[in-house]
Amino acid sequence: MKPTDKKTADTPMRRAAEKRLAKTKPPTDALIKTETDTQRILHELQVHQVELEMQNEELFSSRETIENLLGKYSDLYDFAPVGYLSIDETCTITNLNLTAASLLGDDRDKLIDHNLPRFFTPDCRPGLLEFLKHVFSQDEGHACQAKLLRSKRDSIDVNVYAKPTTFEGNTKKICQIVIADITELKQAQESGRKLEIATATNQALQAEIQDRKTLEKELRKGELHLVHLLNESQEMHSQLQRISHKMLSAQEEGREQLGKEMHQLISTALTRLNQTLSHLQKKEILNDPNLPETISKTRKSLKQAIQVVQQSASKLKLTELDDHKLIPALRKLIKTLAEQTGIRAHLSAFAEVEDLDKYCRTTIFRITQEALENVARHAQASQVDVEISQQAGILCLKISDDGKSFEVLSHTLAPEDESFGLLAMRDQVERVGGQLKILSAPEEGTKIIAQIPLN
């Protein structure tokens, strides 16, 4: 090497080399007078050698630093929480990290040169190919969601971000892809959605609970009001029962009194009139040849009138019951029913019924009377049975027919305007401490059952 006329550049590296050389080899006493002096050249060579050694040390230090950084980068790349991979324009995998290999389900070396879409579910492959084709035609990154195969029946949701790029010296276009497992995110979103639904449902339930509590309070108030009204209704019903019983008693007494008076006055008057007409017929004081016939017709009409009056009077007053004869009075009712309507009737009773008190016997007669009249007017029956029995201290009066049925409740709530309706029959039985049941069904006729305590 030939020395130049220019002085060597004074650099930090040269100054450091001269200091190191001075420590290792002390300077000689020879003076360097010219640039061609060999001592000068030797010195320059030594300094340059030290500079090279120092540069070599720096290179080794830089190499170690780079290797450390490269190791850290490799760790960050391979063990990143997302999968990194590169593909070419044919969708062939050219490089990938360990996370991507784990997601694709195989070793990294075995996955190189494999087609990327085949690792996705069949229904996602066409869409993924269109997505990658679109990415290669652009200069910016794009993202989509797909399902990555884990097994023949299992898959996971992933987010795919792809960005095209080109490396220096490489004419082929490369696409860098980031694959992130979003299964837990989807589950969290689904859990969040369910939580929102549950929260909304809970709020709705809380509102409904509050509404129900309010409604329960209102219902309790209404219940208390209904109980109050029920108590008032029961009290009014008791008062009405007492009034009804008094009215029935007064009505029965009035009927008896009216029957006595009616029977006595009318029977006496008609009997006297009949005697007078008979007397006139015998004397023949009139010359009219038709007088006897006229008188005979008049007597016949009077007899019919007497029978009608007696029948009406018997409805108001029971002469037979005055003599403690309930059964004959009932037989007379049945006989009258058969004569007037042609309905077959049968009576069955135990003899001790004649020992009952007046109110009980009258109640039995009135109920039977009203029931038979209803059968004659409405039932269109051909057979009626009246049965009076006793069992365990209870008297049972059962009147059954084979006629047409009726709606018991509607007739009970809205009885006809009669002397004895169904409600009056019920009051009659309750007046003597009993209970009345009315049963009526199609093709089964009607049954009236009165149960009266014998005590």
Indicate whether this model's pTM tops 0.85. Answer: no
Question: Which is it for strands 394-401 and 383-391: parallel, antiparallel or unpaired?
Answer: antiparallel
pLDDT, residue 3, reads 42
Tell me the pLDDT tens digit for each residue of 24-66.
Answer: 665 554 444 454 567 777 777 877 888 888 888 888 888 887 7
Look at residue 6 in the predicted model and tell me its pLDDT: 43
pLDDT of residue 416: 47
- Secondary-structure class of domain 83-181 per CATH: alpha beta
Long-range CB pairs of 356-360, under 8 A, 24+ apart, other chains included: 356/326, 356/395, 356/454, 358/321, 359/431, 359/432, 360/395, 360/432, 360/452
The answer to whether the 83-181 and 320-453 domains have the same CATH topology is no
Per-residue pLDDT of the chain (455 residues; tens, 9 = 90+): 444 444 455 677 777 777 777 776 655 544 444 545 677 777 778 778 888 888 888 888 888 877 777 777 677 777 788 899 999 989 999 989 988 898 888 898 899 999 999 999 999 999 999 999 999 888 888 999 999 987 767 888 999 999 998 765 566 788 999 999 998 888 888 898 999 999 999 999 999 999 999 999 999 988 898 898 888 888 876 766 666 666 666 666 666 666 666 666 667 767 766 776 666 666 555 566 666 776 777 777 777 767 666 666 555 544 445 555 888 989 998 998 888 889 999 999 988 888 888 888 888 998 998 889 888 888 888 899 999 999 888 999 999 999 887 776 655 544 444 444 677 788 888 888 889 998 888 888 899 999 999 87
Token readout for 132 is 């990658």
| Alpha carbons 386 and 400: distance in angstroms, whole number | 7
Instruction: Tell me which fold the domain 320-453 belongs to.
Output: Heat Shock Protein 90 (3.30.565)
pLDDT at 356: 87
Please report the pLDDT score of residue 419 as a whole number: 41
Distance between CA 285 and CA 290 in Å, rounded?
13
Spacing of C-alpha 174 from chain mean position: 61
- Contact of 394 with 435, CB cutoff 8 Å: no
> From CA 256, how far away is CA 248, in angstroms rounded?
12
CA dist., res. 66 & res. 392, Å (int): 116
What one-character-per-residue DSSP string does 130-165 give?
Answer: HHHHHHHTSSS-EEEEEEEESSSS-EEEEEEEEEEE
Domain boundaries, the chain: 12-78, 83-181, 320-453
Question: Token match 């006809």: residue?
Answer: 416
Helices and strands counted in the chain (H then E): 12, 10
